[in-house]
Amino acid sequence: MIPTDIMAEQLKLLGDKTRLNIINILFHQEACVCHLVEILKMTQPNISQHMRKLKDGGLVQEQRRGQWIFYSLDMNDKPYIREILMHLPELSEESRSVLNEIPCKPKEDCI
Amino acid sequence: MIPTDIMAEQLKLLGDKTRLNIINILFHQEACVCHLVEILKMTQPNISQHMRKLKDGGLVQEQRRGQWIFYSLDMNDKPYIREILMHLPELSEESRSVLNEIPCKPKEDCI
DNA sequence: TGATTATATAAGTGAATGCTTATATAATGA
DNA sequence: TCATTATATAAGCATTCACTTATATAATCA
């Protein structure tokens, strides 16, 4: 059970096109800021600021690996998010290739 | 399948405490503006403007019955909303009694 | 150490948002 | 028809928000 105002804050985070796109990407696979900059064609500070909001809202986790900071989705206590993501479009082939090519395949020890 | 920007707009509508409260009430039972004013203790124009946004976003339907306009939830093509509402608190006893006492029990022919 | 790369933060700006008060529209009932 | 009740709309206002540019922090590598 989630208090209404807390739920509203979480939904507000999802109620932005850019952030919802980010969440959709992270649903597929973890990503660093440079991935998201490349895929979404937005400036780095803009993405960073969105990630901070998502992190503060408990929707994503961060993990530094070398120079890069990888973000991953944290849906453990928010099963409704999965339901939302099920209705979103698949990632494009281009997005997928960006995720796999730069800076390296996540979770492989290339750093 | 829902385009990301459309989904973001729908979630933005839910990402407001007052509107999420309204949706939660309508999940329980249809209501007119005066119900919502009484339950949420907000001004009538404020509620009316929220209802307009919800209607424009396709989340609620309106039906005039005499002086009153009753709003009901329209979730047919949005199953994810149900999933969200499942996590929200139940209506208070007070809210339920307001819904049943003024202006009359909905769907009974008291008008 | 110094240069480069990745990310975060700060400050500024224009647009969107939620609310208020005032007024308009519409239905009811004496 | 006129007063009352219910709802919608309009205008104004303070706040929030997403974005930009500039700068700071941090890790890597020559």
Cβ of B48 < 7 Å from strand C? no
Please tell me the distance from the alpha carbon of residue B18 to that of residue B91, in angstroms, as a whole number.
Answer: 14
Contacts of B8 in chain A (CB under 8 A): 14-17, 19-20
- Flag whether pLDDT at A85 surpasses 90: yes
- Confidence band for B111, pLDDT divided at 50, 70 and 90: very low
Q: Do A72 and A60 form a contact (C-beta atoms < 8 A)?
A: yes
Q: What percent of chain B has pLDDT over 70?
A: 93
Beta-carbon contacts of residue A15 (< 8 Å; ≥ 6 apart): B8, B9, B10, B11, B12, B13, B14, B15
B48-67 average pLDDT score: 97
| CB < 8 Å to A7, chain B | 20, 84, 87-88
pLDDT at B107 over 60: no
For residues B32-57, average pLDDT: 98
Q: Nearest CA to A90 among A19, A22, A28, A13?
A: A28
Given pLDDT bands bounded at 50, 70 and 90, which one contains residue A47? Answer: very high
**3-state secondary structure string, chain A?**
CCCHHHHHHHHHHHCCHHHHHHHHHHHHCCEEHHHHHHHHCCCHHHHHHHHHHHHHCCCEEEEEECCEEEEEECCCCCHHHHHHHCCCCCCCHHHHHHHHHCCCCCCCCCC
Please compute the mean of the pLDDT values over residues B60-66 and round it to a whole number: 96
Examine the pLDDT at B70 and tell me if it is beyond 50: yes
Query: Which pLDDT value is given to residue A111?
Result: 46
Question: Quick check: A40 contacting B, CB < 8 Å?
Answer: no
Structure tokens at B103: 């202006």
Nucleotides, chain D, CB distance < 7 Å: 5-10, 17-23, 26-28
* CA gap B84, B64 in Å, rounded: 28
Q: How confident is the model at residue B101 (pLDDT cuts 50, 70, 90)?
A: confident
Q: What is the pLDDT of residue B106?
A: 52
Residue A72 confidence (pLDDT) above 80: yes
Q: Are B71 and B26 in contact (CB under 8 A)?
A: yes
Write down the pLDDT at residue B53. Answer: 98
